[in-house]
Amino acid sequence: MLVDIHNHILPGLDDGPKSLEEALLLAENAVANGVSHVIATPHHKNRRYVNSPLTVKQAAKWLNDELLERSIPLHILCGQEIYFHNDMLQNIERDILCLGDNGKYLLLELPTYYFPTFIFDILLELQFLGYTPIIVHPERYDFLKKDKQLGYELVRRGALFQVNASTILGMNGLSLQRFAKDLIKHNLVHFIASDAHHYKERPFLIKEAYKYIQKKFTSQYVTYFMDNAKHVLEGSFLQPIPPISFKN
């Protein structure tokens, strides 16, 4: 079982596939990468797209039916890529969809250019409510690149990090690739995911990313990332490796 916890495979909901045909091509691309289960995570509350839990569930059921009819061996589960905002705790049970719809893991996108000062309070409250926050593509955030210790503090306080496969492969620039590798070395990465949007322009690259990690690091890291994704799928407990401070 190979699980991808972050992608935009559902057609017509955000900046992912525009049609069923494009979504099916992206699904075939996922299968070619060895992926068996994807948790679809359309953008939510990012000032451009709003995708309610009901909207996501209906779109996932429709795409699953189409995949079954065409004998494409991929199973779609539901989630959201939730843009971090200061009122996200309001109506959270009605408005927010956990990854795999299992009530535990939330996928959060932070602002790219500034650090929200209230983030630690909200992360703590989310954990009090029983949620585990997963922050997407930390390698993109300017404030983490400028202050790596801030990433350590986020993880130390209970957040998990998901790095994009394309970043690992250097497709988003060598600077981001180096930063992602630094995060791995400091035990600040818990998931590798595709963030796939399009079968050609932003495809699934997770198989190649795992190969790269095995070559540059060890196979233990690959096993760790794969097992963590399975925990998300199942809604089961995940024990992170203790993070290493950049001040050591």
Structural domain includes residue 206: yes
Identify the bridge partners of residue 43 per DSSP, sorted by sequence position: 81
DSSP state of 144: H
Domain count, the chain: 1
Cβ neighbours of residue 220 under 8 Å, at least 6 residues apart?
Answer: none
Structural domain includes residue 65: yes
Q: For residue range 217-243, what is the model confidence (pLDDT) as tens digits? A: 999 999 999 999 999 999 999 999 999
Strand order in the sheet with 191-193: 43-44, 81-83, 105-109, 132-136, 160-164, 191-193
Structural domain includes residue 147: yes
Structural domain includes residue 79: yes
Give the range of the structural domain holding residue 10, as residue numbers without chain letter. Answer: 3-234
163, 191 Cβ separation under 8 angstroms: yes
Of the chain, the percentage scoring pLDDT greater than 90 comes to: 92
Q: What is the mean pLDDT of the chain?
A: 96
Q: Torsions phi, psi of 110, nearest 5?
A: -95, 160
Which pTM was predicted?
0.97
84, 108 Cβ separation under 8 angstroms: yes
166, 202 Cβ separation under 8 angstroms: yes
Structure tokens at 145: 């690149």
Structural domain includes residue 139: yes
CATH of residue 62: 3.20.20.140
93 pLDDT more than 90? no
Q: For residue range 119-153, what is the model confidence (pLDDT) as tens digits? A: 999 999 999 999 999 999 999 999 999 999 999 99
Structural domain includes residue 217: yes
Structural domain includes residue 92: yes
Taking residues 80-89, report their average pLDDT: 90
- Chain centroid to Cα 7, Å, comes to 7
61 pLDDT more than 80? yes
For the residues of 10-23, what is the DSSP string, one character each? STTSSSS-SSHHHH
Q: For residue range 178-212, what is the model confidence (pLDDT) as tens digits? A: 999 999 999 999 999 999 999 999 999 999 999 99
Structure tokens at 181: 């590798």
Structural domain includes residue 241: no
d(CA 184, CA 189): 5
Beta strands in 170-238 (DSSP E): 191-193
